[in-house]
Each structure stands twice: as C-alpha cells, then as structure tokens.
Structure 1
Amino acid sequence: MKKTVVLVILFVFPIVAYLFFASGVTNFGKLPVLTDAVNDVSKMDESLTLRDKITILGFLGSDIEHKKGNAFNLNQKIYKRFYEFNDLQFVMVVPKGSESKVAELKKELGHLVDISKWFFVYGDDQDIEHFFAGLDTDLSLDQNLATPYVFIIDKDMGLRGRKNDDNQGNTFGFNTASVADLNNKMVDDVKIILAEYRMALKKNNADR
C-alpha cells in the first residue's frame, strides 16, 4: 500500500499538476481584445506598420522634454526586459516638427540599451487625433497630443488590455508615469501576449 502511494506521488501527481497548469495557460492565458481593429500608423509613415507585430504604442506629444521620464520608465521596466523577442516593437507617435527633440531623446535612451526597436512616427495634429480616437479607449490626449499611457497592440491590430480590472472597468493602457503600474501590471501582460504567440507558433509547427 505504501509503495502504491509513493508511486502515485512520484509519478501520477506531477503529470496531473502539469496538465492542470497547461490547460490553465491555454484557457486563461490570453489578454482580452478591447478594440478589434485599430488604425495603422502606415497612414502617417509608410515605412512602419502595426500589422504582424506586437506593438507597444505611445503618444509622447510635442513637449517631449517633459515626457522623458515616461520614456525612461518604459525603457527600463519594459523595453530592456523584452526587446530581444522577435516581432516586438515600440512605436511612439509625435507631431511633425519634433524631429530634433526625438533625436535627443533617442541619444539619451541609447546610453542604456540598444534602441533599434524604438520607432517614432511623425504626424499632423489632426492625423494623430484621428489615429488615437481609433483606439476607442476611455483615455484622451492632452493639449500637446500626449498621454502617459501606452497600449499593447497585437499582430492583428487589436488593442489588448484587461476587462473589469479590479472591478473598476477596463484597463486600456498602462501609465508610464507609474513604475508600480509598469511593474505590477504591464510586465505581466506583455509576458502573457508573448507566451500566447509562442504557444501558437509551437502548435502551428507541431501541426505541420
């Protein structure tokens, strides 16, 4: 009898536990799509697209000097941790005329890490407002066309987030002014979407 119990503990229980956690990841390890199809940045910059990329999307506005702290927080807490993953890009939308400010920001960010996956899209004010409205969130841009929030856009150009987060409504974006928000929420959500695509890739390869 004791041998049977030992065998169950050593062999059966680990298998059951694995199946339980594996099924949990499959069934629950996905971020909800909050906006089905956002507009593409290619309408402002033909050299860039959100299609077939996992994108961290932000709006730094014209007053970039006062948004450097937000960019550094994002760079340190999210970009440095995940930038080596394939198909992941960071896209910041800024008004035309901000080129010199962006160059300075990139120079400062580049002291900390390879910033080859940071991209900046320049648009007219009206184009930026239209593009942001297409995200269909409960957030807004300020007078400088900026927001401290960044958004996760999947490869099908859907905005991912959290539904009824902490019973306080949907979470569309993550506040780069808050290190706690980046550490406690965004890190987990980026992990989830990367794992989702890795699992899908493994399944596709296994089905071939």
Structure 2
Amino acid sequence: MTTTLENHDATTAPEFPPAPDGYAEPYAFEYPTPVLLLGSVLLGIGSTLGFGGLLLLVQRAEVVSALAQVTTDGGTTGYVIDLTALAVPLFVALVVTAVIHELLHGAAFAYYGYDVSYGVVPTMGAFYAAAFSQFHERDELLRVGLAPLVVLTTVCVPLLAAPAPTVAITAAFVLILNTAGSIGDLYAVWYLRRLPRGTITYDVDIRRSYVYEPLEQ
C-alpha cells in the first residue's frame, strides 16, 4: 500500500470505470452546497452552545479569568477580553482540526487497505484525504466518514476539564470547528445509509464521485 502527498489535478484524472458484474450503471454523487452551508452554520451554533456551555460548567471562573481581566470602577465590575488569550487557542484549534481531521480520514482509509492521497484544493479552501481511482465499499465508507467526528469528540470532551484553561479552551474550539466542519461527512453518511448494502463508490477526483448500486438487492 502506498500513501502519496499531492495537489490533485482534475484535468489529468481518469474517467470512471464501467460497472462491475452485478452492478447497475453508475450515477454521479454531488454535495448540495446550500444545504451544507446552512447545516454547517447550525452545527456551529449548536456546538458552540453545547461545548461552550460544558466548558463554562466544568471550568467556571478559571476560563473567565484566562480570557478576560476583571476591572472595577466604583461599584461597577467590568471585563476586558484578552484577544491574545482567545486568538492563540483558536489558531491552534484551526490548525489541529484541519490536519488531524484529514489524517483520521486517511488512517481509516488505510486501515481498510486503500491507497490514500492527501492534498489541498486552494479554490475550495479545503484539505482532503481520499482514495482516488479505487472502488470503495459502502459500509467501510460509513466508518471512514465518521472517524474524525468520533475520535476528536472522544479525545477533546475530557480535555474540557483539563487543569490548564488554555488547553480546555483549545479543546472547546477544536470540538466546535470539527463538528461544524463535519457537515459534509455527515451528509455523505446519511446518503450512503439510504443505499442498499453492497453499494460501491468511485472517486475520480475531489470533485467527481460515482455510485454503483448492486442489481440484486
């Protein structure tokens, strides 16, 4: 098995192969961009309220004191947000989420024996881990799709109780960013679960994917 690092060029990608024996002719799979954008916003709001609320519940005053300076003027108490204390965990979380999310997809693909390609699409502002020019089994793709959400959530939720507030705040940002950024994975899992067992897919490149359903269901 080989793993490559590349900027994928769609113009050199091969076309999809003919249907294997026992399968219907393939059809294209496409993500509904407006639905994903709306879903990402809603997941972002929900995860901010959920994970942010859990962080405050667990850390309480420690998080507030790490992010803000308390000022008093007579009988009035105010808070001045420390932008550095907020920006550094956010930046770290952005990098960690972008890199680890795709590495987890890649690790899951590799576990099932696929050759993995990692790359970036500047026009889409996205990184990816993919198994191009290979047939993918439906049930394996379900696990590949959910791997980053499951693993990062499992790891980062306990970190909300870390004794170092900066670590806890960074973990909260990772949870929020990863959850909101998993909308495409969640849509693909939802879509694949509706297809019959035995279905396979084929990715020509980052923009072109095809679905092959079995003739006998």
Coarse TM-score class (shorter-chain normalised): under 0.3
Structure 2 length as normaliser, TM-score? 0.24
Structure with greater Cα Rg: 2
- Choose between structure 1 and 2: higher helix proportion: 2
